[in-house]
């Protein structure tokens, strides 16, 4: 058994595997915040995130008999939420534009990294939600979920080079947004 599951969580999971509706409700409530936090990284709308979470739990309960305690439940759940968010994105978005891989590239400057370290989690989520959806998706998949550019390209129907460019542009735009955010904060504090 994987040590990250508490005895309570293992009991909930086992109950769900037996089809116990009370255990399903308790599992949903127990992991809702975790699933919602993951979904909110992929959409700016709480309503869309809620839809993603609910669809994810339907998939969890439909496939929980396949879950073994050899992997972490949170990891298994996160993968389902991410895949559900990607499915949601594919259903609701237009085709992603083709990106020139020879376009500008850049990385966060060291000063930007220092500024970012001062942001709250809520600030970061708000800034990420200001990115265009395709940039936010690639950024989350690469930087947060640990997908490779090849996996991202396959999931989103992009070329590998487009995935790389989206990531670079997401970082560039985040850098501008962070600087703008701190400029606004500094102006308010000087008043």
pLDDT digits (tens, 9 = 90+) for 81-105: 999 998 888 777 654 444 444 444 3
Q: Are the C-beta atoms of 139 and 167 separated by less than 8 Å?
A: yes
- Pinpoint the alpha helices (H) of 41-159: 46-63, 73-92, 110-116, 121-128, 133-139, 149-156
> What is the CA angle 184-186-191, rounded to 5?
100
- pLDDT tier for residue 115 given thresholds of 50, 70 and 90: low
User: Cβ of 117: how many Cβ atoms within 10 Å?
Assistant: 7
**pLDDT score, position 105:** 39
Predicted confidence (pLDDT) per residue in 128-143, tens digit? 888 888 899 999 899 8
Domain 7-92: give its CATH code: 1.10.1740.10
Is the confidence at residue 21, as pLDDT, over 60? yes
**pLDDT score, position 158:** 85
Reference 86, options 68, 65, 59; nearest CA is: 59
Q: The domain 110-190 is classified under which CATH number: 3.40.50.1110, 1.10.10.10, 1.10.3470.10, 3.30.300.210?
A: 1.10.10.10
Q: Which tokens hold the place of 162? A: 């487009």
- pLDDT tier for residue 108 given thresholds of 50, 70 and 90: very low
Share of the chain above pLDDT 90, in %: 40
Domain ranges of the chain: 7-92, 110-190
Cα 3 to its chain centre, rounded Å, is: 24
More confident residue, 113 or 145: 145
């Amino acid at each position: 058994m994987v040590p990250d599951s508490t005895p309570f969580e293992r009991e909930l999971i086992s109950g769900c595997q037996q089809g116990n509706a009370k255990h399903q409700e308790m599992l949903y409530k127990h992991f809702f915040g975790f699933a919602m936090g993951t979904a909110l990284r992929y959409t700016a709308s709480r309503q869309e995130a809620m839809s993603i979470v609910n669809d994810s739990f339907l998939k969890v309960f439909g496939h929980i008999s396949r879950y073994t305690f050899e992997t972490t439940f949170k990891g298994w759940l996160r993968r389902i939420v991410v895949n559900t968010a990607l499915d949601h994105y594919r259903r609701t978005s237009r085709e992603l534009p083709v990106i020139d891989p020879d376009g500008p590239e850049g990385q966060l400057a060291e000063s930007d990294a220092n500024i970012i370290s001062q942001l709250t989690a809520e600030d970061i989520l708000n800034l990420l939600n200001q990115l265009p959806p395709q940039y936010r998706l690639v950024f989350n998949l690469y930087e947060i979920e640990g997908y490779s550019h090849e996996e991202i390209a396959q999931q989103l129907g992009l070329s590998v080079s487009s995935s790389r460019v989206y990531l670079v542009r997401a970082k560039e735009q985040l850098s501008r947004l962070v600087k703008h955010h701190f400029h606004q904060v500094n102006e308010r504090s000087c008043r």
